[in-house]
Structure 1
Amino acid sequence: MTRAYALAVAPNGARRTHVDHPALPMTPDDLGACAKACLDAGTAMIHLHVRKADGTHSLEVPDYTAGIAAVRRAVGNELVLQVTTEAVGIYTPEQQIATVHALRPEAISVALREVLPDAAHAPAAEAFFAWLWREQITTQYILYDTEDVAHYRRLRASGAIPAGRHWVLFVLGRYSKGQLSSPSDLLPFLSAWGTGSDALREDPTATPWAMCAFGPREAECALAAVLQGGHARIGFENNLYLPDGSLSPDNVASLSVLTAAATPLALAPMTADALRELTR
């Protein structure tokens, strides 16, 4: 029996440019073409970063509107389109929230430590979480370490993050020069999350989780996650290299490393509609 996993592509991120890789998608048209190619490679979701005219990171509504339109022209609803709220040290929590309110996208990702950096931001952040749930905007809460996992657990226990309509992303490492992730980096997250419990794995109401990793062992980390019942995000945002250390030609080649390893193990990437059902 084949088991399905969600495969997401993070094709560009907020920091890299064509100086880092000539195939990095920067413009709306680039993003549309990349989305179509990654859909054909088995991707269910695109994690969308957009840029200003000068190529720098943007959370501006007009920039997002253009990027979203280009992706939808290319793939229709065949990919879940996830808008990032990543601040990159530029945008405040208030600005992050305002962008999402204006866009009302299908899905977003949000780092707990960015939108809720301290107790003073709790009322606005918790109102935001409740609004996302009411508006049926699928949210992926980004967790960078076990402290973030514990924070997420507290928010769930208090009801600040309602059950359902969301999933989480474990980040195996940091956005820092020379960061190299290893499959063992997943272990502290799994211990804090409790995925070693058969009851949690078998509970249909359990919150789905995914991971992303840095460096040439990205696909190896992803396969470890999928084997543990999780899901994977792969792409040039976090890693430009293939397992042999050579430069990956494009995002599709990076995705294909995982799918080629997973297929003989009866693991297959799910469709966008299956992912929507998983995270509803």
Structure 2
Amino acid sequence: MTALDPLIITVAPNGAYKQAREHPALPLTPQAIAREAARCRDAGAAMLHLHIRDADGRHSLDVAGYRAALDAVRAAVGDTLVLQVTSEAAGRYQADEQIAMVRSLRPEAVSVALRELDQPALGEAALAAFFGWLQRERVMTQVILYDAADLARWQRLQAAGTLPDAPWFLLFVLGRYSRIQTSSPRDLLPFLQAHGGPEPWALCAFGAAELACAAAAACFGGHVRVGFENNLLLKDGTLAPDNAALVAQAADAARAIGRPLATADDVRARFLAPR
């Protein structure tokens, strides 16, 4: 990708674990997520990374709960955001349950963590069947990779023909296993050194260096995911008032290097156009 490739900003406004006590503006209900989605769209986001919670505030992959949240967000933003649901296990779900949710919901877009699905209990044949289904159903799929070893495993599965060719979108997670889970732009280097494939990539990062990491991604032709899921702080270390403020920081960084922002329509044309 060139430096002028439109930057895809995804916002992850809540995540699987954070609670309202950690930030008063953390959106947890469908209505709150919908309001935040509209603000983030206006600040420059093209895609929403959606988590939902159950009645006890715990991470949930409930299909009916997802449908309610997606309906609320669509009522607020229409088709001006790509709506990506998470399939994250978060210690509650097994690979077969994660896959069953995605097949039942058939979302426009989904994120899947390779290491969560690539399990002996599932097996490579079932993994291949699921990725083949994602390809055939044209579900925009972002593959989450936590380190360079995950990326190497992804590459081996592709080389073996286990995974079909499709417009996959990779997400590099910076600093997931670092001390006190704080990211640095330097954490991107092992991914860049190992990534030789055609897939576009994005990153997410933890802590106040989220913006510095996002700026590095923008400079190297990648894309970004920001938001309260991974970071509650502005670049100066103060508490962000809302997710839109984090989106606006990333958008400003892109503009500073002359990189345009992608729209939801740009994302769909790139990943969801008929093949």
TM-score range, shorter chain: over 0.9
Measured in 2, the distance between the counterparts of 1:50 and 1:129 equals 23
Q: What is the identity, as a one-letter code, of the residue corresponding to 1:237?
A: E
Task: Please say if residues 211 and 231 of structure 1, whose CA atoms lie closer than 8 Å, have aligned partners that are also in contact.
Answer: yes
Match of 2:235 among 236, 243, 251: 243
Q: Cα RMSD between the aligned structures?
A: 1.6
The residue aligned with 1:83 is: 85
Task: Spell out, residue by residue over 1:133-191, the C-alpha distance to the aligned partner (whole angstroms, 9 max, x if none).
Answer: 00000111100011110111112212222222321100002278831100000000000
Show structure 1 runs of 5+ residues with no match. Answer: 195-199, 201-205
Aligned length: 270
User: Are 1:51 and 2:57 counterparts?
Assistant: no
Measured in 1, the distance between the counterparts of 2:143 and 2:102 equals 14
Structure 2 residue matching 1:269: 3-state secondary structure? coil
The residue aligned with 2:257 is: 265
Match of 1:123 among 122, 125, 128: 125
Measured in 1, the distance between the counterparts of 2:97 and 2:109 equals 17
Change over 3 Å in CA distance of 1:184–1:175 after alignment to 2: closer
The residue aligned with 1:156 is: 158
Measured in 2, the distance between the counterparts of 1:161 and 1:127 equals 9
Task: Please say if residues 136 and 165 of structure 1, whose CA atoms lie closer than 8 Å, have aligned partners that are also in contact.
Answer: no
The worse-fitting range, judged by mean Cα deviation, of 89-98 and 251-260 is 251-260
Task: Spell out, residue by residue over 1:83-124, the C-alpha distance to the aligned partner (whole angstroms, 9 max, x if none).
Answer: 100000100101100101110100100001001123752221
The residue aligned with 1:252 is: 244
Post-superposition offset of 1:221: 0.1
Measured in 2, the distance between the counterparts of 1:70 and 1:97 equals 24
Structure 1 residue matching 2:188: 3-state secondary structure? helix
Measured in 1, the distance between the counterparts of 2:4 and 2:146 equals 31
Measured in 2, the distance between the counterparts of 1:247 and 1:175 equals 23
The residue aligned with 2:67 is: 65
Structure 2 residue matching 1:5: 3-state secondary structure? coil
Post-superposition offset of 1:259: 1.4
TM-score, normalising length from structure 1?
A: 0.93
Post-superposition offset of 1:261: 2.1
Show structure 2 runs of 5+ residues with no match. Answer: none
Change over 3 Å in CA distance of 1:46–1:182 after alignment to 2: same
Task: Please say if residues 130 and 160 of structure 1, whose CA atoms lie closer than 8 Å, have aligned partners that are also in contact.
Answer: no
Task: Please say if residues 53 and 60 of structure 2, whose CA atoms lie closer than 8 Å, have aligned partners that are also in contact.
Answer: yes
Measured in 2, the distance between the counterparts of 1:11 and 1:122 equals 33
Measured in 2, the distance between the counterparts of 1:51 and 1:175 equals 25
Structure 1 residue matching 2:22: 3-state secondary structure? coil
The worse-fitting range, judged by mean Cα deviation, of 6-15 and 177-186 is 177-186
Measured in 2, the distance between the counterparts of 1:26 and 1:232 equals 22
The residue aligned with 2:173 is: 171
Match of 1:134 among 130, 136, 147: 136
Task: Please say if residues 208 and 278 of structure 1, whose CA atoms lie closer than 8 Å, have aligned partners that are also in contact.
Answer: no
Superposition pairs of residues 18-37 of structure 1, within 5 angstroms: 18-37=20-39
Task: Please say if residues 137 and 165 of structure 1, whose CA atoms lie closer than 8 Å, have aligned partners that are also in contact.
Answer: no
Q: What is the identity, as a one-letter code, of the residue corresponding to 1:164?
A: A
Measured in 1, the distance between the counterparts of 2:62 and 2:167 equals 25
The residue aligned with 1:224 is: 216
Task: Please say if residues 219 and 257 of structure 2, whose CA atoms lie closer than 8 Å, have aligned partners that are also in contact.
Answer: no
User: Are 1:278 and 2:256 counterparts?
Assistant: no
Over the matched positions of the two proteins, sequence identity in percent amounts to 53
Post-superposition offset of 1:4: 1.3
Task: Spell out, residue by residue over 1:29-68, the C-alpha distance to the aligned partner (whole angstroms, 9 max, x if none).
Answer: 0111011111111111000000111211000111111111
The worse-fitting range, judged by mean Cα deviation, of 207-216 and 118-127 is 118-127
Q: What is the identity, as a one-letter code, of the residue corresponding to 1:125?
A: L
TM-score, normalising length from structure 2?
A: 0.94
Stretches of 4+ aligned residues off by more than 4 angstroms: none
Task: Please say if residues 218 and 239 of structure 1, whose CA atoms lie closer than 8 Å, have aligned partners that are also in contact.
Answer: yes
Task: Spell out, residue by residue over 1:201-228, the C-alpha distance to the aligned partner (whole angstroms, 9 max, x if none).
Answer: xxxxx21100000000101101101110
